[in-house]
Amino acid sequence: MHQRPTPPTAPTVTTGRRRMARKALLAASALGVVTALMAPVRAGAAPAPAAPTAATPLAANGQLSVCGRQLCNASGQAVALNGMSTHGTQWYAQCVTDGSLDALAQDWRSDVLRVSTYVQEGGYETDPAGFTARAQKFVDAAHARGMYAVIDWHMLTPGDPNANLARAKTFFTAMAKKYKNHPGVLYEIANEPSGVSWSAIKSYAEQIIPVIRAEDPDAVVLVGTRAWSSFGVSEGSDESEVVNNPVNASNIMYTFHFYAASHREEYLNTLDRASDRLPVFVTEFGTQNYAGEGANDFTMSQRYLDLMKRKKISWTNWNYSDDHRSGAVFKTGTCNGSTWAGTGVLKEAGVWIRDRIRQ
């Protein structure tokens, strides 16, 4: 659904105990002391600031879970997280800094950061330990600022997630071990499956979810759907294949991706129908075409956002970087500087999406 860019040429316990530990972390976050436990995002950078006086999204909502078709907070109330996705961290780690995350949490008022670890394309497979550490650093930085973190296993090519099954087991074992006592994570186990049947994706999910649950039984798991997470629409199917053959696991949601300039009524209607039957999280969308470039279609994008707001569907926008494409929110070169807040450093799409997150 979304064609990824080439690399830039510029430089670039028991369950009860786990729950008690998660509550302790929430209390610490509310007091602003979690930041003292975290290494700076960039060597030599100033420590993250203390939490603001108002409760952060993480402190206010606590451990999330799926209740019915909704994402719910620790009090059982339906919530919708709104935020941003990083670009591939093998290319744009320089866009995920103390300053940029301060801006995302405080100026943009984001609830969530999606941390995208590509598997191929110069990503995880080239340095598993290094990319695991990098993902953990960015997740920790989101938590230090009171945001949730979506841990995105960004498989794209090959489109069959089973091709990376062993790598996924290693990665999610490491991540679940680290965050088993933390309420601030959601695990996205397959970004955009393509060219593969729903039954094969379901089989993959039913092998990965127990790996996560063995370490972290409480966190929400997000399952990619067929045809670039379109519920199969981009390959001539629809959500019925998931409705009729759901993943055999609890506390999960299914992902949907769209790019408003390319994906019109059929996709919007699919999201509407699917969310009537299934718990859905839109972990990636853009206001441009499916390649994340070209003119923005804000009118169609707003129709999607209105639907998601009405139905309390959480979303993260692609992407929080200064890639040259129109879908990257920052003007090219911003990530080599030190100014992140406000609209002066933003492209047209960045101004628009920042305003929507702040609403």
- Please choose, from the candidates 284, 339, 258, the residue with its C-alpha nearest in 3D space to the C-alpha of residue 95: 339
- The pair of structure tokens assigned to 309 is 């707001």
- Verify whether residue 284 is a known catalytic residue: yes
- Please choose, from the candidates 65, 85, 81, the residue with its C-alpha nearest in 3D space to the C-alpha of residue 252: 65
In a 3-state reduction of DSSP, which class is residue 280? strand
CB 143 within 8 A of CB 34: yes
**Helix or strand (DSSP H, E) at 188:** strand 185-188
- Please choose, from the candidates 238, 349, 260, the residue with its C-alpha nearest in 3D space to the C-alpha of residue 2: 260
Diameter of the chain by CA atoms? 53
Number of neighbours of residue 290 by Cβ within 10 angstroms = 20
Out of 121, 192, 215, 239, pick the active-site residue: 192
Which residue has 């719910």 as its token pair? 72
How far apart are alpha carbons 290 and 288 in whole angstroms?
7
DSSP label of 105: I
Out of 121, 188, 241, 284, pick the active-site residue: 284
- Please choose, from the candidates 58, 164, 172, 179, the residue with its C-alpha nearest in 3D space to the C-alpha of residue 120: 164
Residues marked as catalytic: 192, 284
